[in-house]
Amino acid sequence: MTSPASGTDTAAALPDYAPVPRSALGPALNDQGYYVGRVERNLYWVTDGSYQSAFLTTKDGVVLFDAPPSIGGNIRRAVDEIASANGVSNKVTHLVYSHHHADHAGASSLFDKNVIRIGHEETKRLLLRDNDPARPAPEETFADRRTLKISGERIELAWRGPNHSPDNIYIHFPDHDALMLIDIVNPGWAPISIANLSEDIPGYVAAPAIALDYPWKHFIGGHVSRLGTRDDVTLHQQYMADIDASVRKALVSVDPTPFFQKYGDNPWAAVSALFDAWTEAGAAPVIEKYTGVLAAADVYTRSTTFWVMESIRLDLGFASYVHP
C-alpha cells in the first residue's frame, strides 16, 4: 500500500492559470463572509463571493429572490442588517425561486412555513420530483408570465423557454432598473463547466439577447462577487459567438479519417480522440482572445467549447453527413 499524497504535494501538482483580472472582482466580504449592497432604492443583493441572492424591502416585509445554501444564514443577517439600518420590517414574507437547482434554492427551508414561495410551474414539478426538504415546492406558480405586486412593489416574472435549466426564469424589476437572470452570464468571468452546466444550449445561447431586450442597468447573475452591466452581457454574448464560429471551423477542418484508422476496432477510442481534437482546435483561439479579458477563460473555455460543439452537431445538425 502507498501512503496518500500530502495536501502540499497535491496542491503543488495542480496547474497554474492566468491571473484573475481586477475587473472581475467585486467588493470585499465582511467578517461573517458576506457582502450586502444596494442595487437601487429598496432592492439589495447579497454575495459570499461565489453566489448571489437579492431582496426587496417593502412596507410589509421582505421579498427574497433565491436562497443559495452557501450564503445560508448570512441571507438572514444581511436582511436584518438592512432592515434595521432603514427601520423597516425584517420579516421575509415571500421567496421567489429563479429555478429549482439546490445551489440557488437550498437555503429555502431556513425561512419559516409562513413564507409564500413563488416559482415557475416547472420549478414546482421538479422540486416535487426531487423531494428535498431543503427546497419546499412553490405554492404559487405561473406558466409564461406573471406580474407580482407585493406591498406596492412590481416584479415581472417570465419564462421564455429552457436554457440553463428547463425552468429558469427572467426576474425583471422595472422600477429598480434591474434584471435577475441566474446561471447564464457570470459578469467578468467565463461560464463554468459545459456552459454553466446548461441543459439546453440553443436556449442558453439565446438568453442574453432576451435579457438585453428588457430595460435595465443592473444585472444580478447569481454568481461571482459583483453585479453586471449591459456591457458584461454583450461581452459574454461575443464570447459564446466566438466559440460557435471557432468550433464550426474545427468541425470541418479536423479530418476524422486518421482517428478511425488508428482505432479501427474500438470506435469509442476514435470518437473520444476526435472530440478532444475538435474541442482543442475550437477552444484555442478563444482562450487566446479572452485570457485577461474574462477571468478563468483559460480554465473553462475547453469545457464550454465541447458542450457547444455537441449542440452544434446534435441540435443543429451541423457537419452531420448522411451515408450515401
Chain contacts with Zn ion (rule: CB under 5 A) = 101, 183
Nearer to Zn ion, 81 or 183 (CB): 183
Q: How far is the CB of 165 from Zn ion (least distance, A)?
A: 5
Report the SS3 class of residue 207.
Answer: helix
Q: How far is the CB of 183 from Zn ion (least distance, A)?
A: 4
Nearer to Zn ion, 157 or 250 (CB): 157
Number of C-beta neighbours around residue 264 at 10 A? 9
Query: CA-CA distance, 107 to 136, in Å (whole number)?
Result: 10
Nearer to Zn ion, 101 or 236 (CB): 101
Query: CA-CA distance, 67 to 53, in Å (whole number)?
Result: 6
Query: CA-CA distance, 298 to 305, in Å (whole number)?
Result: 12
Q: How far is CA 258 from the centre of its chain?
A: 38
Q: Which residue is nearest to Zn ion (CB)?
A: 101
Nearer to Zn ion, 183 or 298 (CB): 183
Q: How far is the CB of 189 from Zn ion (least distance, A)?
A: 15
Q: How far is the CB of 123 from Zn ion (least distance, A)?
A: 11
Report the SS3 class of residue 295.
Answer: strand
> What does 118-174 look like in DSSP terms, one character per residue?
EEEHHHHHHHHHHT-TTSPPPSEEESSEEEEEETTEEEEEE--S-SSSTT--EEEET
Number of C-beta neighbours around residue 298 at 10 A? 19
Contact 61, 91 (CB under 8 A): yes
Nearer to Zn ion, 105 or 270 (CB): 105
Nearer to Zn ion, 181 or 295 (CB): 181
Contact 180, 187 (CB under 8 A): no
Nearer to Zn ion, 48 or 183 (CB): 183
Tell me which amino acid residue 182 is. Answer: I
Q: How far is the CB of 199 from Zn ion (least distance, A)?
A: 9
The contacts of residue 244 (CB under 8 Å, 6+ apart) are 205, 308, 312
Q: How far is the CB of 217 from Zn ion (least distance, A)?
A: 24
Q: How far is the CB of 168 from Zn ion (least distance, A)?
A: 7
Q: What is the DSSP letter of 87?
A: T
Q: How far is the CB of 130 from Zn ion (least distance, A)?
A: 13
Q: What is the DSSP letter of 241?
A: H
Nearer to Zn ion, 122 or 183 (CB): 183
